[in-house]
Amino acid sequence: MLPFQRVTIIGLGLIGSSIARAVRRHMPTVRLSGYDADPDVREAARALDLCDDVTDQPGTAVIDADLVILCVPVGAVGAAAAALAEDLPAEAIVTDVGSSKSGVARALADALPRHAVVPAHPVAGTEQSGPAAGIATLFHQRWCILTPAAMTPPVAVARVAAFWEGLGAEIATMDAERHDLVLAVTSHLPHLIAYTIVGTASDMERVTSGEVIKYSAGGFRDFTRIAASDPIMWRDVFLANRDAVLDVLDRFSADLAGLRAAIERGDGDTLQALFTRTRAIRRGIVEQGQDDARPDFGRRHD
């Protein structure tokens, strides 16, 4: 039994189009409707046949939906929900895919006070964007974290969990504040560091941009991949999860200062101890199936 029969995706970029492709593959009898605020994206989605119907108004897309997935930047979630509220069936469940949850939960509760809302975060993605970038297997063996409020009907949470499990994801449930702190460490801070490192390299007057590009080693290339992520999405993430990001950034800054001091005084023991500990973290990530131990992270170059 499928958890939903009529699914609407609002926002047809990387995540939205990946959900559409995954639903087509794993739940082929589900009727898919879609909407995006950008008319060019809507036309691209129609050309790619991502959905059974791509509408020109958000309300039209949700009029008979039993699940609505908001795949928009976290700063736009409240406005997106408000735009479809009048046309949303009373029994429809609403979820999202944002990587910060406390503010999203408040925005959805304000916009849709009479609907079941189950905030969610599929911890998956690439640096690409747009409807053509979608990948049907993007969520396979990746975590999808649900952050329902205490009063959310358990049946609604179970149905959203079953939907993501049907797309190949693993499910975890936690409160929104805990999610935001965890993701500040595992996702948001790494992106902030990547943006900073690439920006620093591009701004160094004694090293030309041509040299940075030509002689990039593997580590820097990986940072540039992360730093190529959607700038609007990440702007909103840092603003929405400001408190947790600042908390983790303060801790990182202190650790970085300690590392600088160790280098300055020639303290090789401290450096080796840190590098040994962090190497073990990498091994744990691979052992849990969250990355690939093959060279260059198993990326294909053909």
Query: Mean pLDDT over residues 143-162, rounded?
Result: 96
- Per the listing, tokens 């990948």 go with 135
Q: Which domains does the chain have, with CATH numbers?
A: 6-174 (3.40.50.720), 178-289 (1.10.3660.10)
Whose tokens are 């979630």? That residue is 77
pLDDT in tens, 224-237: 888 888 888 889 99
Confidence of residue 161 (pLDDT cuts 50, 70, 90): very high
DSSP 17-77: HHHHHHHHHH-TTSEEEEE-SSHHHHHHHHHHT-SSEE-SSHHHHHTT-SEEEE-S-GGGH
CA 137 to chain centre: 15
Cα 99 to Cα 14, 72, 114, 236: the distances in Å are: 14, 11, 24, 10
N-to-C CA span, the chain = 40
Report the C-alpha gap between 133 and 136 in whole angstroms: 10
Return d(Cα 94, Cα 108) in angstroms, integer.
Answer: 9
Q: What is the pLDDT of residue 266?
A: 95
Phi and psi at residue 243, to the nearest 5°:
-65, -45
* % the chain with pLDDT above 90: 74
Q: Which residue has the higher pLDDT, 125 or 143?
A: 143
The reported pTM is 0.84
